[in-house]
A and B are shown apart, each in its own frame.
Chain A
Amino acid sequence: MIDLPVIFTILMGASILAYVVLDGYDLGVAMLMPAADAPEQDVMVASIGPFWDANETWLVLGIGLLLVAFPAAHGVVLTALYLPVTAMLIGLMLRGVAFEFRVKAEGWHRELWNWLFWFGSFLAALAQGLMLGSYVTGFESGFGYFLFALVVAGGVCGGYVLLGASWLILRTEGRLQKKAVGWTRWGLLWVALGFVLVSLGTPLASDTVRDKWFDFPGTLALMLLPLASMAAWVWVWRLTGRLRKGMSAPEWGPFAGAVTIYVLAFGGLAYSLFPYVVMDRMTIWEAAAHPSSLKVVLAGALVVLPFILAYTAYSYRVFRGKATAKLYDH
């Protein structure tokens, strides 16, 4: 007997992971805009221009799978997160249209859209962090929980900056790339701080998470996750150190390392939550849709996903190499 809710949990988790990594780098690039000058900003936007739309589609798929597979949880989660969801959506709207407006507008309008591009991306990242922080604690309210959510939000923003900066190392050259190396190191420090605070805060904020992680001897095996994250962190730190001094190092390295850190953190999160879809209240089996509806979606997804992955890979191949601002002269 196939356990459909588990399969859909994996599918949903995979799309949300794809979303945070993919849209994470383009949100991160946008959040770095104020640190760059105007010509650099154009190159930065060009490095994410062909991808952001498809990246954001993973969010729609993730939320769509929540809606399809766990309809009972869908309403509970989204109504509990009503305000941060609204903030995120407004942020995503502003930054999404800013891609188009900032190249088509002129004069102070252009400046305004540049600013909205940054602001919208930052608002979306912050709201996503608040949503995660609130989700992990099962939507508990109170000042302490809000503080915890704020810390998580800070960590998420730092993570996106890290992804964005290391993406720029890969996709740009010259002075901008040098700057990106510096940004990556700031991102690393930020992520490290966030990691420590979230690791200390989560067991305090949630008994369920504490019990799962501090259950000897399983804890010892679990420690592999943070250890591997630390190894990836150190690797990126060393690579960027070499790049900063002008020594040879693979340019894809920092981005790969940043993605690794994200994937490991996500794995830890998934372990903390499973099998709850609404923390401490509703398991994936309780929330699952009728098997007949899950089966038809699964069949469709198995047929279509390989195509999506194939043409996504094709698109990344078409737009490989260093970005130039010329891209927007279409």
Chain B
Amino acid sequence: METSDVLLLARAQFGLNIGFHILFPSITIALAWFLVYFRVQYARTGEPSWLATYRLWTKIFALSFAMGVVSGVVMSFQFGTNWPGFMNSVGNVAGPLLAFEVLTAFFLEATFLGVMLFGMNRVPGWVHLTSTVLVAVGTTVSAFWILALNSWMQTPSGHGYDAGQLIATDWWRVIFNPSFPYRFTHMTIASGLTAAFIVVGLSAWRLLQPNDDPAARTTLRTGVIVAAILAPLQVLVGDLHGLNTLEHQPAKIAAVEAIWKTGRNVPLVLFAIPNEREQRNDYSIEIPNGASLILKHDAAAELKGVDAFTPDAPPVAPVFFAFRLMVGTGVLMLMLSWYGAWRTRKCALPSRWVLWLFAGFTFSGWVATVAGWIVTEIGRQPWLVTGLLRTAAAAGPIGGAQLGASFTGYMMTYGVMLVAYMVVLTHLAGRGSAPEATKSTPLETGAAA
């Protein structure tokens, strides 16, 4: 097998793993705060329906969290198995950031998740509420560290060299590197939207079942409101993030906008088939001066094209299409959330076709999030750490056969897990938060005997 093929396989495998993994944190980071809200409402009102809501959503959270944990453990090993050169060259910066994530977040969330899930009858109410908050804090802190590392890989700063070794010279600048504030905000809002649409979609699914469920109406409304507030905010933050990328990673923006040649009066390409071989766009639909206007607020402004960065430019087509998929999904989510907020005012039950629409959008956040990660990660190529380390230089000595075998194993495992996850989620949501049937009674008595 060619070296480049093996590299592609290593990248595909890592991409598959990280793409699978991100599905679950993108839910749990924000869903944890939904749980805090439900738990606080129960503590405040003492209403059993809030408790039932909290219980239902902790089950969904626990399932999503477990999926995130196990696929996250895989990530921690794959840094070494697939990219040994990564730690060898930038380990002095990347290592501590990962270590802090484990120390400050993983133990916290894992331990208090146990108390939150199983401890309601064993600890005082305030301890249980605090545990719920600590789990949410843990998920957010975890996002903080891993996005600090990812952002540093995109826009490294605060590092220097000592006897040829790359080291951190200023940890503050390493963590708060130029793209970090934008990426962290963009990702946490993305998580908020993903979780909100899960809440909305599964509540709608519940309301499509024969018997009504007032609790599901409340969660539908909660999710719709959160989405309606976050969606326009995300448009703003996304725009700022884009301008930040233009400043620090112009090659990525050239790929996003499919700008091949540096020049003035650059049009905005709405749609095209980027032609990598000929370095031009086929069948393109363009708005004259659009890109210059949007990115530089000046129709005549000069923008750098892919040609300015060759051979260190990312592939255009995947970045270009993924960006349009992300924005398109985001716009649909924005429209749907506003429409939903209007239709559910005073907790009115929307018509069945609206409920079906919501249910259909349950996992829309996944589409937008994964598309966004494709933009940012493929847009960084051929670098693993911009300007410092090439992806090819970090790959390991693993042969194609071993990679192929493990790739197949991972794919099958992920396939089984994802199908089971979605089936169980719809099943749980369909049953709703109503008191459970007593099907588990025989087991309990068996255990007590």
Contact = CB atoms under 8 A, between A and B. Distances in A.
Binding between chains A and B: yes
Contact of A101 (B103, B114, B396, B420): B420
Given A54-B107, A82-B402, A311-B112, A330 B118 contact: yes
A296 interface: yes
B99 A54 contact: no
Contact of A305 (B55, B69, B103, B406): B103
A26 to B, nearest CB: 12
Interface residues of A, number: 76
Given A104-B63, A174-B449, A312 B111 contact: yes
A60 B106 contact: yes
A68 B440 contact: no
Contacts of B87: 67, 71, 74-75
Interface stretch (B162-170, B216-224, B262-270): B162-170
A134 B66 CA distance: 30
A72 interface: yes
B389 interface: no
B74 A89 contact: yes
**What is the interface of chain B mostly: helix, strand, loop, or mixed?**
helix
Interface string A90-110: 101110110111001100010
B125 interface: no
A50 interface: yes
B114 A293 contact: no
Interface string B417-432: 1001100100110000
B331 to A, nearest CB: 34
Contacts of B443: 38-39, 42, 325
Interface string A15-37: 00000000000000000000000
A326 interface: yes
Nearest to A311: B111
A292 B84 contact: no
Given A54-B107, A68-B98, A300-B103, A325 B447 contact: yes
B316 to A, nearest CB: 32
Contacts of A99: 66
Contacts of B178: none
B326 interface: no
Contacts of B107: 54, 57, 61, 308, 311-312
28 contacts: A40-B447, A50-B117, A50-B118, A51-B114, A60-B106, A64-B95, A64-B102, A67-B91, A67-B95, A74-B80, A75-B80, A79-B80, A86-B81, A93-B70, A93-B71, A96-B70, A289-B95, A290-B162, A293-B92, A296-B96, A304-B104, A311-B112, A315-B115, A319-B119, A324-B447, A329-B444, A330-B55, A330-B117
